[in-house]
Amino acid sequence: MVLRSSLIALVLAAAAPAGDDALDRVRADQARRVEVFERAARSVICIFADPSRSGGGSGVVITPDGYGLTNFHVVAEFVQSRRGYGGLSDGRLYPLRLIGIDPGGDIALVKLEGRERFEAAPLGDSDRLRVGQWVAAMGNPFIVAEDFYPTITLGVISGLHRYQPGQGNLLEYADCIQVSTSINPGNSGGPLFDGLGRVIGINGRGSFEERGRVNVGLGYAVSINQVKRFLPGLMAGRLLEHGTLGATVRQVGEALVFDVVQELSAAERAGVQLGDRLLEIDGRPMRTANDVNNAIAILPSEWPVVLRYQRGNEQFERAARLDRLPLGQPMIYAVDKPRNRREVARLLEACRRRLAATLPLEAGGRLRVILGEQVETREIRLRQVAATSLRVLEGADTLEIEPAADWTPAPALPAGAAPAETLWREWQAITGPLLAAIEIDEKWEWIGGDQVGGRIACVVERRFATGRIRWKLDWETSQLLQITVGDERDPHAATWSLTAGREGGWPRTWTRAGPDAAQFVIELAEGGG
């Protein structure tokens, strides 16, 4: 019934006289735009270095607890003190702290203080933009806003995938968004919104040349998808570096040919040799040197990339992690440890809250061990014995998963010993911290970000005397995606990949893959009791 009457409403709307309808639509469009921009404007920050309102740039709040994005060149003035001020559309000036910086990509993360909750703008998806679509820039150009209500300028996307070089590995705008929207001094760091009020970029640059520093119709914004890859590292409170392949290409006719491949570089680790032809990076076709810059300069150091290249008639597709691209000028930026610890605790709590809903595991579990060619399957039973522990019933043996405070990563699979038991203990250790009662101590640190299965992850680490465990949690949902044990340089390092259950609770399948080619799978089956 509801459906039918709504269809009638639509038909009626379509049948209305054309002239009035067109005008009504313009009015409705305008009313909606005003409403969207009014809401968006509440997230826009006017940033100052001190309360006398010197300096001056813009920013945007992206979380209700006050984290905000801006340009690095806006906060460069107070990198030492890490303290500045942010005015919001309510007319009030709030103190803000500088949290993390990405000088290479001209991005900084700040945190506003002095209010319980802030109006945050949602982040959009800048890979889905189209040239010609309407976009609005908001900020404080020429520092005109006495009441901090942002100036709104409207225009269209003029170009995508633009490359604007930086200086000394600083302030490089790769794969950026070009807009006809007015971007003037003071707009720097402010948000570029799409028509629905989602942040799709951070405005920071324009083409000016001989015209003085005034808009002449070409502004550039760092794409929000680039920023998203740096956000976990910025949240960790770090100075971030961009990645590099450690190789360069030269245009030879239609082809891009590797003409420098540094020893031990990411490119070399991916198997690239001098003279190989580069075809694709992360599935993006490579035609020009700008294409390569656009694909690499948007990634943090150590980020995974997939290269496709050709040697003779043979094509290769190899993955590698990027090398660090050092900043042209050295910069010292220490992590604020107490803040980092608070954020780790918050993140892990969020992760555990997600899991808590699916405990107790009434499941009967099946443990399947695969070691090389040998497959050994054992039936086990898991059941919860208390809020803080799981008990594993295996035949007559009873194993209880305990806190893993003093666990040492297995140095190697002990020869002769049942390898399954060793791995079983490793699993206990890495799952231990998932249990609510285990305290997140100071040995945990938020160290940065990574990409796991196409998702952006926060990486938190717990160090031991002999090694480390890294957890990778989904940036948006705090879901546990992957656990690595040991160091990349450690021959016994291993990665546990997790497959979530249907409701995204306790991971159902745990697969351990290490360089020793041993696979270890734990499947938690439902029911069975």
Which residues of the chain form contacts with other proteins (CB under 8 A)? 1-2, 5-6, 8-10, 13, 25, 28-29, 32, 130-134, 155-156, 158-163, 178, 180, 195-196, 207, 209-211, 215-218, 287-288, 290
Task: Look at the block and give the residue holding tokens 């890979």.
Answer: 127
> Which residue, 127 or 147, has its beta carbon nearer to other proteins?
127
Question: In what helix (H) or strand (E) does residue 516 lie, and over which residues does it extend?
Answer: none
> Which residue, 131 or 331, has its beta carbon nearer to other proteins?
131
Q: How far is CA 344 from CA 348, 435, 445, 470, 486, in A?
A: 6, 15, 6, 12, 20
| Shortest Cβ 207–other proteins spacing (Å) | 4
| Shortest Cβ 272–other proteins spacing (Å) | 23
Candidate list 102, 106, 276, 450, residue with the active-site label = 106
| Shortest Cβ 25–other proteins spacing (Å) | 7
Q: What angle do CA 84, 89, 91 make, to 5 degrees?
A: 75
Is 106 labeled as catalytic in the residue annotation?
yes
Burial of residue 449 (number of CB atoms within 10 Å: 0-12, 13-18, 19+): buried
The residues, any chain, with a CB within 8 Å of residue 52's CB and separated by 6 or more, are: none
Rg (CA), the chain: 26
Burial of residue 213 (number of CB atoms within 10 Å: 0-12, 13-18, 19+): exposed
| Shortest Cβ 158–other proteins spacing (Å) | 4
> Which residue, 162 or 277, has its beta carbon nearer to other proteins?
162
Residue-by-residue DSSP string for 190-231: -EEE-TTS-EEEEEEEE--GGG-SS--S-EEEEEHHHHHHHH
Cβ atoms of 181 and 192 within 8 Å: the answer is: yes
Burial of residue 187 (number of CB atoms within 10 Å: 0-12, 13-18, 19+): buried
Is 188 labeled as catalytic in the residue annotation?
yes
Is 161 labeled as catalytic in the residue annotation?
no
Question: In what helix (H) or strand (E) does residue 426 lie, and over which residues does it extend?
Answer: helix 419-431
CA distance 238 to 219: 28
Residue-by-residue DSSP string for 395-408: TTEEEE----TT--
The amino acid sitting at 351 is C
> Which residue, 79 or 257, has its beta carbon nearer to other proteins?
257
Cβ atoms of 242 and 267 within 8 Å: the answer is: no
Cβ atoms of 482 and 498 within 8 Å: the answer is: yes
> Which residue, 156 or 350, has its beta carbon nearer to other proteins?
156
| Shortest Cβ 335–other proteins spacing (Å) | 38
The amino acid sitting at 76 is A
| Shortest Cβ 161–other proteins spacing (Å) | 7
> Which residue, 1 or 334, has its beta carbon nearer to other proteins?
1
| Shortest Cβ 100–other proteins spacing (Å) | 30
> Which residue, 126 or 479, has its beta carbon nearer to other proteins?
126
> Which residue, 23 or 131, has its beta carbon nearer to other proteins?
131
Phi and psi (nearest 5°) for 148?
65, 5
DSSP state of 268: H
| Shortest Cβ 296–other proteins spacing (Å) | 17
- Active-site residue set: 73, 106, 188
